[in-house]
Structure 1
Amino acid sequence: MPSARGVVVTAPAGRAHGFPSSAVFVPPHGRDDQVRMRRAHAAAARTFKVTATGPHVWGRHGRTPGRRAGQWWLRPVCAPQDKRNVRLWEGTATAHRALPAAVPRPRLHDVLEWSAQGHTYRVELSECVPLPALQSGGPVLTSDLDLPPVWWADLRLALETTSSVVTDRQAVRQRWVDKNLTHCLGIPAFQVSAWITGHGDLHWASLTGPPLIILDWEGWGLVLAGFDVGLLHAPSLTRPSMAARIRHEFAHVPDTPSGRTGELVALAQLLRVAGRGGHPDLAPHLARRAEHLTGSPVPAP
């Protein structure tokens, strides 16, 4: 149970953003885990002196039971004290401090941390975005989206602005490329020559609009040029017209050598997930796209 506030990060003035998180997933399987996380949420609400309403919205793997609290979105995350992923743990706060205000995202208002019974808890109080994500239930696109030109222009500007942010955080690592590229794509690993700063997990469940708001910045950091666009394009392959729209709107990215390598690494990451049983409907589309880019068949998972 927390007894005092942790790190306070005051949000800058500007337009309020709002609604929960990107995708809606299921609660954790264990009843004890559900109860523990709900209690953590209630304890943080008391400490922040906010009133949470509505249902809990569970994040990926049941890790984060977010809930609305007036103008805020209150979301706890928990990890065993000895297994905390520091990069993801601090991602939202570091993004809040590092990214320019021009990048449209929910602003972080306050952070609270405590440890109890072998677990460490971190609760973030952010602006509540009054818009649903463009895709719910996961990143794979299930319907065509009618997005105006200004939305695409805002997304290009946001990614371009983010790309120039100086950071030592890494969302993609050279050693991952060295270890996985041949296994996933059947091509030799290459040395990455162009690193930029990116979102690191860009897909339709982390975008709203119009207007555009980019959610879920936990994993931001250095990526390959073309990686974020590749991550958005790959789950769109189930909807050919949307995939074509992305290629049109970001024609300056995939047609370059660095953009192509970034897309290949994005495809490799998703094929690795597919090899473990994730996104089975997307897997054949990923394989065909990878074979189109490399001219080589993708190894069987």
Structure 2
Amino acid sequence: MSAPGDKASGKLWEGALDAQHAFGDLDGHRPALLGVHDAFDDTTAYRAELSARVDELVLSDDPVLQHDPQLPDSWWQDLTGALEKVSAVATERVAVRQQYMDRAIPEFVGIPAPAVTCWTSAHADLHWANVTAPLKVLDWEGWGQAPEGFDGATLYAYSLLQTDAAAHVRDAFPVLGSQAGLAAEATVCAQLLQTVARGDNLTLEVQLRDWAEELRHR
């Protein structure tokens, strides 16, 4: 990574190192960070990170799932178990801000931002290009506090083209569909609809709008 010298700090800059301190290798489900080297010149800071090699292939070349991976129950158990350990870690890092929810959910979902009943630590970028089988969860630089159920809601959003996989996500994360999970679902739906408005993730537009309609009825 590189950044202007006076901006070489903050959530993304420190994310991998913070994750290593907080989670280690997460019982083998996270590539351990083995070393960090910082260097500077007159105006620019540089950071090189060395992580343990991951031999497993990611389950999708794209965050949006294009085929049903037909994962065994043990994979889903490993995923939910790892994320439960993540959620139990206290942190001051913030992945989702209340101010964003208050602004984006009414704009893109059409409801007031639901009250967050519980904030927990989350990976915060849990999509199909960030997971492997056997399970490794990659790319931890954005982790931090988010509404309960945020990781499950994110994975669900990126599964919407594959109805069986989306159903598996809902089964694995029973908070989805509950009152406790409404804030997370509405936030993720708003985030993805915002990307659609910018011309990204257009293949998900119909499914996301259907999801937003469901959330409005909830």
Q: TM-score of the superposition, structure 1-length normalised?
A: 0.69
1:87 aligns with 2:16: no
SS for the counterpart of 2:40 is strand
Rounded to whole Å, the distance in 2 between the matches of 1:282 and 1:105 is 28
Contact 1:196 1:224 in 2 (8 A): yes
1:142 to 66, 82, 85: 66
The structure-2 alpha-carbon separation of the partners of 1:191 and 1:292, relative to structure 1 and needing over 3 Å to count, comes to: closer
Q: CA deviation at 1:117?
A: 5.5
The structure-2 alpha-carbon separation of the partners of 1:103 and 1:268, relative to structure 1 and needing over 3 Å to count, comes to: farther
Q: Which one-letter code corresponds to 1:280 in the other structure?
A: L
SS for the counterpart of 2:167 is helix
- Root-mean-square deviation (Å): 1.6
Q: Tell me what 1:246 maps to.
A: 169
Rounded to whole Å, the distance in 1 between the matches of 2:178 and 2:151 is 14
Q: Tell me what 1:226 maps to.
A: 149
Contact 1:110 1:124 in 2 (8 A): yes
Contact 2:130 2:139 in 1 (8 A): yes
- CA deviation profile, 1:101-129 (whole Å, cap 9, x unmatched): 43610000110112236332111011010
SS for the counterpart of 1:121 is strand
| Structure-to-structure mapping, 1:119-130, within 5 angstroms | 119-130=44-55
1:115 aligns with 2:40: yes
Rounded to whole Å, the distance in 2 between the matches of 1:286 and 1:249 is 20
1:187 aligns with 2:111: yes
Q: Tell me what 2:189 maps to.
A: 267
Rounded to whole Å, the distance in 1 between the matches of 2:207 and 2:46 is 38
Rounded to whole Å, the distance in 2 between the matches of 1:187 and 1:85 is 35
Q: Tell me what 1:212 maps to.
A: 135
Contact 1:98 1:165 in 2 (8 A): yes
Rounded to whole Å, the distance in 2 between the matches of 1:156 and 1:91 is 21
Rounded to whole Å, the distance in 1 between the matches of 2:201 and 2:157 is 11
Q: Which has the higher contact order (CA 8 A, sep 6+)?
A: 2
Rounded to whole Å, the distance in 2 between the matches of 1:79 and 1:285 is 37
Rounded to whole Å, the distance in 2 between the matches of 1:260 and 1:80 is 39
Contact 1:202 1:231 in 2 (8 A): yes
1:155 aligns with 2:74: no
More deviation, 157-166/77-86 = 77-86
Q: Tell me what 1:166 maps to.
A: 90
Percent identity between matched residues is: 41
- CA deviation profile, 1:74-95 (whole Å, cap 9, x unmatched): xxx2223344461011000000
Q: Tell me what 1:65 maps to.
A: none
Rounded to whole Å, the distance in 2 between the matches of 1:103 and 1:267 is 31
Rounded to whole Å, the distance in 1 between the matches of 2:110 and 2:67 is 31
Q: CA deviation at 1:99?
A: 1.4
Q: Which one-letter code corresponds to 1:93 in the other structure?
A: L
The structure that is strand-richer by fraction is 1
Q: TM-score of the superposition, structure 2-length normalised?
A: 0.93
The structure that is helix-richer by fraction is 2
Contact 1:103 1:162 in 2 (8 A): no
Aligned residues: 217
Rounded to whole Å, the distance in 1 between the matches of 2:202 and 2:52 is 34
